[in-house]
Structures are given as structure tokens and as C-alpha cells.
Structure 1
Amino acid sequence: MSTVTKPYHIGRKISRIRELKDMKQEALADALGISQQTVSAIENSETIDDKKLLEVAKALGVSVEAIKNFTEENMVTYFNTFNDSTLNGPVNSNYCTFNPLDKLMESVEENKKLYERLLQAEKDKIEYLEKLLQAK
């Protein structure tokens, strides 16, 4: 199967984008509320009306322009930019979305509160036992 797209064959572009997103025709059909056969017909069409194209773009999670301007060469260039450290700078896969020290301090405060509650419970227990001893 050739992955080369004709410049204006919108159906092949849709098909290729769907494949790149690892989506089956059935999944796209479910997202659009149509049958798999209809998706197949769309992917075999050279043209598609703008309303349907907008629906397909939303289902694929891309813009209409991305579908219209899709080429294999653009995709290769796009994916190669992820490996080019001059464009992206150093890759830091250990980026935290929170401050680890803040989380540590939260746990310290929580432990402190738990310790204080435990200490108060022990004091209450001792007080209760002293009252029992005095009553005898």
C-alpha cells in the first residue's frame, strides 16, 4: 500500500492522518455517528463538503487546514523536529508540575498534626485512667 498522497485527494489525506493517529475506521465512524462503510467512502473521495470535513477534523483532533495541507513530507519534517535538540533545547523528561519541597512540607505538617492528635489521645487516656484509680 502506497502512503504517497495526491496533492488534492482529501480522502487519502484523511485516511493517512487517521492511520498516523492509530485510529481504525470503526473508531472514526463512531466519533462521527456514521457507519464504517461511510468512512471508507469518504476516504476514497477526492473531495468532501466543508461541513463534513469540519466534522472529520474535529473527530481526528486536527484542524481543517491540517487536513487540507497534509503531505508526507510535512509529517517527516514535523516528527524530525522532535529529535533536533537545536530547535527544542535540552529534553527534560523529569519535569514536575508541582514543587517537590512543597509536597514534602505538606507531608511534614500532616505528620505533625497526626502526632499531636496521637499525643492528645494518650493524654486523654492517662487522665481517664487516673480518674478510675482515684475512684477506687
Structure 2
Amino acid sequence: MTHTTSNPKIHEGRNLKRFREMLGVKQDFLAFELGEDWNQQKISLLEQKEKIDSDILEQVAAVLKIPAEAIRNFDENQAINIISNTFHDQSTGVNVHPTFNINPIEEIRRLHEEKMALYERMLAEKDEMMGRMERLVGGR
């Protein structure tokens, strides 16, 4: 029994887009760096092509400062596999799930009490103002 591995087609345009996004480079900037003949729309169309012309790929790779072969041969599934299997010397991936000891009902109750205290202070201030106004009007 022979085992054959399927060789999925590499989409160079998608690879270009992934590298560009990983490096934080916008399409407009890439177009500007490639010259006057380029604009954002042309970069977008280039990223949709499955196979990119070798000369153009070399220019784009030079602007991104990565080897053109990296764009030609990048396979996302293998990259994920390599990254997930590179723990050495008892290194581990850590997921931190902190526990927050905040009781939302207590918070609501505390906020309500603060609101009531503020309301009572406002009523007292209103009564004080009304008393002043009555004295002012009564003094005439």
C-alpha cells in the first residue's frame, strides 16, 4: 500500500496578503513603495492572484524585506504546526483565566445607595435654596 500526500496549491496572492498583514504594512504603503504605476487597487488585485509574476514577486518581497521564496512556499497549515510544536526545555503554552471576585448585585446595590445619598443631598440643597428665596422675597 502506498501513501501519497496531497500537495495543495499554494496561493501566492494570499500568502503575500498574510505576510503584508503580519508585518503591519498597508496596501497603500506597498503601492507607494513599488512606484507610480501601482495603487491600492492593483495591490488588492495582486493579492487575489494564485500565481504572481516572478519579477513582481521579487519587487514586493524586496519592499517587505522578506525572501520571495517565503511568499512562494508559505503554507499556513505547516506554519501553525511548526509554531505549535516548538516548545523546548519544559516550555509550555499558558492560557490564563483569572477569577474576578466581583459580585454584580453588590455593585448595583452600592451604586443605588450612592445615588440615593446624592438625591438626598440635592433635596437638602433645594430646601435650603427655597428657604433663602422665601427670606429674600419676605424681606421686601
TM-score (norm 1): 0.51
Question: Quick check: which one's helix share is greater?
Answer: 1
Aligned residue number for residue 23 of structure 1: 25
1:53-112: per-residue Cα shift (whole Å, max 9, x none)?
A: 10011111111110111111233245457x724399xxxxxxxxxxxxxxxxxxxxxxxx
2:66 partner SS = coil
> Where in structure 1 are there 5+ consecutive unaligned residues?
1-5, 89-136
Residue number among 42, 45, 54 corresponding to 1:41 in the alignment: 45
For this pair of structures, how many residues does the alignment match?
82
Is 1:54 aligned to 2:58, yes or no? yes
Deviating above 3 A after TM superposition, structure 1's stretches of 4 or more consecutive aligned residues are: 77-81, 85-88
Cα 1:87–1:40 change in 2 (3 A) is farther
Residue number among 87, 103, 110 corresponding to 1:84 in the alignment: 87
The Cα RMSD (Å) is 2.4
Residue identity matched to 1:47: K
TM-score (norm 2): 0.50
Is 1:71 aligned to 2:75, yes or no? yes
Cα 1:78–1:31 change in 2 (3 A) is farther
